[in-house]
Amino acid sequence: MKIKLLYLLIASLSIFFASCINESFSTDPKDRLIFSSDTVSFDTIFSTIPSRTAEVIIYNRNSKALNISKISLSNGKKSVFRFNADGFAAPESNILENIVIGAKDSIFVMIETTLKENDTTIPIYITDNLVFTVNNTEQSLVLEAYGRDANILRGVSITTNTVFTTEKPYLIFDYLHIAAGATLTLNAGTELFLHKNTDIVVDGNIIATGTNSQPVTIRGDRFDLAYIDILYDYLPSQWGGIYIKSPSGENLLQNTIIRNGNLGIVVYGSSQINTKLKIENSVVHNMNTYGVLSQFGDVQIVNSEISNCGFSCIAQLGGKLKVAQSTIADYIPNSFIASLRKTPAVFIANYTTQDKTLVPCPINSSVIENSIIFGNCNTELVLQDTSTISFNVLISNCLVKAKKIERPELQNIIWSYSQNQTSGEVKYDTLFVNTSIDNIKTTGYFNFQLAVNSRAKDKANYAVAAQYPLDLLGRNRLFDSKPDLGAYERTGQ
């Protein structure tokens, strides 16, 4: 038996070596490699943090095998890039030799980088070339990276009054906690980049003081493409959420852009103490669940856009709510969230249920005025109440996507069941500039400014608009004495 196995092994090895010997290699310098991409870009990555792994396919379209005699980085050992070709990791020299691609075959090349701190406040551009030598002919793959230094915070609890500035962005892992009695101030232009599943938990206070030209930004930390034409920045669930729980003090988000988290902001109060939050001239966009969820909070949303959320853009369970001159628009693509959105853009309730038991959530006050409540569902406003619990609600001078609802809480409402139109294969809404990214190369990203013939034009209550004379972009909404509904004033025709 052992002798037979030995003969079989010898025969197998003979066939293998014979096939290798018979492999026909090209020696013609005109037989070249084909790259799936001629450039690999890392945009943007943070210093000291390993990049994603980029993948390039190297094709041999020729009828004979090609021997890549050398793959090397132009900057040699000094290069900040590293690579792996056909499963072989480059050594410290950053040179691989004799990589074979069979006729009509291909291999994968994997590329990564980790940038050193550059001690500057501006992004830096770094480039190198990955050089392939075949039959004494060189071909190059361009490698480039845009790097930024960052203040890296991992599971940090802020226990004293602290100010974040614009000198460097803040890259946050795990969580950022603001302890009771402490205030975190985010100066104009401050950028917070949150890693996957990272939360901001506020037991103290958070104050963001952005300006129209220098907003505060809170978003995920990925800049690369998730799919063709779709950035990770366009997808929800790139980080966790902001949880505001402080029973005292006042939280402020002014000229702040918050996007692509699992949820935007949750405000936790109690029936005795309503936690305070003011959102002013801000955008909360592209959340997997809620944009703003207030449970016994005291929340003001003024001159702001709350948009594209997998559940509701705004949900109020008890407490106080004021919304003025704001755009609440929910057109989140079904492909971005786990299941079809069934909840309205705005949901207000004076009770909830737990284990089939009714839990009172008295609405002390809820006022929405001069605003737009719209989206791609048939009904974008739901009021859920029982007569035994306080429900002090007034929604007036608003454009609402729904069939007409007869309730005393609803006054001077413009009801619009649908404004959808179809152009080719793209469905869009004539209320806003762009409510679809089905053809993103042509239409661009979502844009909830008013379309030319929007029904929201010139429909706002002047007395309310006069309290907020500048729109979200700093334009005068009173210039023609006919202010528009929502956060954006349309100027011109």
29 within a domain of the structure (yes/no): no
Q: How confident is the model at residue 428 (pLDDT cuts 50, 70, 90)?
A: low
Residue 473 lies in a domain: no
**Residue 330: both structure tokens together:** 């929910």
Question: Is the omega angle on the peptide bond into residue 442 within 30 degrees of 0, that is, cis?
Answer: no
CATH number, domain of 172, equals 2.160.20
- Whether the pLDDT of residue 263 is over 80: the answer is yes
pLDDT at 2 over 80: no
pLDDT tens across 384-414, in order? Answer: 999 999 999 999 999 999 999 899 999 999 9
- Percent over 90 (pLDDT), the chain: 81
pTM: 0.88
* Best CA proximity match to 143, nearest among 90, 216, 207, 212: 90
Query: 302-359: per-residue pLDDT in tens?
Result: 999 999 999 999 999 999 999 999 999 999 998 898 788 989 999 999 999 988 899 9
Same structural domain, 307 and 446:
yes
Asked if pLDDT for residue 13 goes beyond 90, the answer is: no
Look at residue 118 and tell me whether its pLDDT is greater than 90. no
- Looking at the structure, tell me whether residues 284 and 408 fall in a common domain: yes
Q: What are phi and psi of 133, to 5 degrees?
A: -110, 120
Query: Do 289 and 253 fall into the same domain?
Result: yes
Of 96, 120, 147, the last residue of a domain is: 147
- Does residue 15 carry a pLDDT above 80? no
Residue-wise pLDDT tens digits, 40-54: 999 889 999 999 999
pLDDT band, very low/low/confident/very high, at 419 (cuts 50, 70, 90): low
Q: For residues 83 and 157, state if they share a domain.
A: no
Q: How many domains does the chain have?
A: 2
Residue 18 located in a structural domain: no
61 shares its domain with 182: no
Q: Which of 279 and 16 is assigned the larger pLDDT?
A: 279
Which stretch of 58-72, 161-175, 428-442, 462-476 has the lowest confidence by average pLDDT? 428-442
Q: What is the pLDDT of residue 158?
A: 98
In a domain, 381, yes or no: yes
* 161 plus 175 within the same structural domain: yes
Task: Out of 46-60, 146-160, 421-435, pick the least confident.
Answer: 421-435
Domain-ending residue, one of 147, 163, 195: 147
Whether residues 347 and 436 fall in one domain: yes
**Does residue 286 form part of some domain?**
yes
| pLDDT, tens digit (0-9, with 9 covering 90-100), for 119-140 | 887 889 999 999 999 999 999 9
Report if residue 194 sits inside a domain.
Answer: yes
Are 298 and 195 part of one and the same domain? yes
Q: What percent of the chain has pLDDT over 70?
A: 92
pLDDT of amino acid 427: 52
Q: Are residues 287 and 410 in the same domain?
A: yes
Residues 141 and 160 in one domain: no
CATH of the domain at 48: 2.60.40.10
Residue span of the structural domain in which 256 resides: 151-465
Whether residues 168 and 117 fall in one domain = no
Predicted pLDDT at 249: 82
| Nearest CA among 292, 295, 363, 297 for reference residue 330 | 292
In a domain? residue 474: no
pLDDT, tens digit, 9 for 90 and up, residues 184-208: 999 999 999 999 999 999 999 999 9
Do both 252 and 303 map to the same domain? Answer: yes
| Res 166 pLDDT > 70 | yes
Q: Indicate the average pLDDT of the chain.
A: 92
Indicate whether 8 pLDDT > 50. Answer: no
Residues sharing a CB contact under 8 Å with residue 143, sequence separation 6 or more, in sequence order:
39, 40, 73, 81, 111, 113, 127, 128, 129, 130
